[in-house]
A and B are shown apart, each in its own frame.
Chain A
């Protein structure tokens, strides 16, 4: 468990930690890092397709959030504020990456549980799924992950992405359709 000067992940609110950081206790930020690394690592990896890229984007987001902490008007709502920064970082990183082929399979295989019933089949399915996800447009992938993986409502998604609800619904719909087509053959096996 991450601890710093009596702070514990389980017990202290985001607002309390942010206040301590702004008062000069920069070490308290380690609690924030541990808390939201665990919570949002999945989104960054799924969005960017590789653990290395995700770590880079997330580190960038944490540093930006730290340096802008005084601009966080509602520290009790640090999570959505930080998620917005992270989503922007992921979007920027994805754009910079362009359409370069991703080789994230090894990363994902490393995350497999050893106790699964059919590891080879499972790994093949995950590989196809990750490949299909990365073939979506960035906007569609972002909308799909926010809606179906992070399970956010459309209003929260609109705040994070700065995109209207109707446009987000359309992106999710198209992402679902595209994934269905891309994964049809795998699903039929």
Chain B
């Protein structure tokens, strides 16, 4: 189809076509942003070949006598640590008894990011497999397989940081479906995604 040219619009377009520049460190910032893990799978099944070397499992070969020596050393460390902790507790109790008014409860989380276990469930009989894909596993259909815990009931649990995650189920390795029990959102790729909000644990 031919379209008539409009000199005025052509002039505008030519002006808008001039190149723009981004900050010189833009590429570096993007690459840094990629390295922000959001999930720690409870039972990772991802193939080792697709992971960075630092995340691949190690295989150690230990002789029987070496194993015995290692076990003895570990037992020693555990016993020593238990004795040390016991001593610290006694000191804290003693301190509280002496000056309880000025004390505050000891925080037990520190600066570690809080992680929450979330169980995903899908109900359908007659399936061979279901995998869970989402922003938490880079939409990798091989990394998070669900288990049929009873006929037609498929589950998998993930340890996630609190946040909002989009996800889908893949039935029998082919069909992408959303979670009928959760809200949906339109995705960048045409098909809708389910959305789950993982809330932080409420302190007891």
Contacts and interface: CB of A to CB of B under 8 A. Distances in A.
Contacts, number: 108
Contact of A42 (B19, B23, B51): B19
Nearest to B33: A63
Given A67-B139, A88-B188, A176-B9, A30 B31 contact: yes
A2 B27 contact: yes
A59 B31 CA distance: 9
Interface residues of B, number: 35
A149 B12 CA distance: 9
B34 interface: yes
B26 A70 contact: no
A34 B27 contact: yes
B8 to A, nearest CB: 6
A82 to B, nearest CB: 10
B16 A179 contact: no
Interface on chain A toward B: helix, strand, loop, or mixed SS? helix
Nearest to B16: A149
A183 B139 contact: no
B190 A162 contact: yes
A66 B38 CA distance: 14
A22 interface: yes
Given A145-B16, A162-B190, A41 B141 contact: no
Nearest to A150: B17
Interface in B21-69: 21-23, 26-27, 29-31, 33-35, 49-52
A116 to B, nearest CB: 10
B12 A24 contact: no
A26 B52 contact: yes
Contact of A55 (B23, B138, B190): B23
A85 interface: yes
30 contacts: A22-B50, A23-B49, A23-B50, A24-B49, A24-B50, A26-B35, A26-B52, A27-B31, A29-B31, A30-B31, A33-B27, A37-B30, A41-B20, A42-B18, A55-B26, A58-B22, A59-B29, A59-B30, A64-B188, A66-B34, A67-B135, A68-B138, A68-B139, A69-B138, A71-B133, A84-B189, A88-B188, A129-B15, A148-B9, A148-B12
**Among all A-B residue pairs, the 7 with the closest Cβ atoms:** A148-B13, A85-B188, A45-B20, A149-B16, A62-B30, A71-B139, A88-B188
Interface of B: 6, 8-9, 12-13, 15-23, 26-27, 29-31, 33-35, 49-52, 133, 135, 138-141, 188-190
